[in-house]
Structure 1
Amino acid sequence: MPKPKTPEIKTIMLPVDMRHKEQSADAIAMAAQLTKSFGADFYVMTAAHPLGDEITEFPEHHKPEFEKYIQEMASAHGVSITALFRHHQSAEKMILEAAEEIKADLIVMHTHDPKITDHLFGSHASHIALHASCSVMVVR
């Protein structure tokens, strides 16, 4: 029997919803550990709504907060992180497009306890796991 091929992971991407960034702590810790283990490049992305949260703001208003967060996480976990800031109508679409753009080998995502709508429509993580062209690790 041939020996199974060990997957080569060169690029890891982790999407973060900045409105719930605290909930991504375990996923970031996991992705940082994998980054160190594989010697991979680590990207963290977020996607802001193109119209902003209010009529008077633009998505770029959120970019400085995101970049500060990335610096804090990189320092806390001792890894280099590249920030990906996107605008979206669909978070899932932006995640999948960014993963293709950077040629991600692994997407690490946080998921929450399912709500009734997740049972009916699926979660962001389930959508990404079903449609990504690379492996997806879902961290509870």
Structure 2
Amino acid sequence: MPREIRTILCPLNLRHAAHAHPAYGEALRLARWHGAEVIAATVAPEMERNLNIRDAEGFWTAKLKEFLKNNPAGDVAVRPVVRKGSVHRQIVKLAEDEKTDMIVMEAANPRIQDYLLGTTASHVATHAPCTVMVVR
């Protein structure tokens, strides 16, 4: 019997906000189909590369709200969440904490170090407590 999908986690890399986010569109489509809520999440780094950013969580919260305003969800309930820390670990932890039914995330273009260390998507797919859909 298919599992019920009530909550979909969609991690967003807002450092690339100018680019398309096909995973977000897919998460909204699936949420509409299943009557689910989308958790739109971004992860702030422990230490910002840009030292002009004094309040990382506040900065990324504003960026996430701006993204959601520019990409309206229509009739889908979207809840913004900002975490701080290691991206791959925080995505898995958020999925566990929120008991999400599915994660819909984008694949990054791998670089050589990704083959040696593993990409965020592969770590999440390996460690997540739920179904993971990786969108190209």
Gaps of 5+ in 1: none
Match of 1:81 among 78, 81, 88: 78
Matched, 1:58 2:49: no
Give the alignment's Cα RMSD to 1 decimal. Answer: 1.7
The aligned residue for residue 29 of structure 1 is 25
1:91-102 correspondence to structure 2 within 5 Å: 91-102=87-98
Instruction: Quote how far apart the aligned CAs of 1:54 are.
Output: 2.8
TM normalised by structure 1 equals 0.87
> Pairwise mapping of residues 99-110 of structure 1 onto structure 2 (< 5 A)?
99-110=95-106
Percent identity between matched residues is 32
Structure 1 SS opposite 2:10: strand
Distance 1:125 1:55, change over 3 A: same
Instruction: Look up the match of 2:116.
Output: 120
**How far apart are 1:139 and its partner, in Å?**
0.4
Cα distance, 1:20 vs structure 2: 1.6
- 1:24 offset after TM fit, Å? 5.3
CA–CA separation in structure 2 for the residues paired with 1:81 and 1:15: 12
Preserved CA contact (<8 Å) 1:11 1:41: yes
Give the CA deviation at 1:62: 2.5
1:68 counterpart residue number: 66
Counterpart-to-counterpart distance in 2, 1:36 and 1:80: 9
Q: In structure 2, how many angstroms separate the alpha carbons of the residues matched to 1:94 and 1:114? A: 20
Post-superposition Cα deviations, 1:18-44, rounded to whole Å, max 9, x if no partner, equal 102344521111111000000011111
Q: Separation in 2 of the partners of 1:7 and 1:51?
A: 39
Asked whether the equivalents of residues 32 and 42 of structure 1 are also in contact (C-alpha less than 8 Å), the reply is yes
For residues 76-99 of structure 1, give each alpha carbon's deviation from its aligned partner in whole angstroms, at most 9, with x where no partner exists: 5542210001111x1111111111
Paired amino acid for 2:66: K
Q: Which amino acid aligns with 1:72?
A: N
Whole-Å Cα distance in 2 between the matches of residues 52 and 117 of structure 1? 21
Please give the TM-score of this superposition, normalised by the length of structure 2: 0.89
* DSSP 3-state at the match of 2:108: coil
In the alignment, the residues of structure 2 paired with residue 115 and residue 54 of structure 1 have an alpha-carbon distance, to the nearest angstrom, of 23
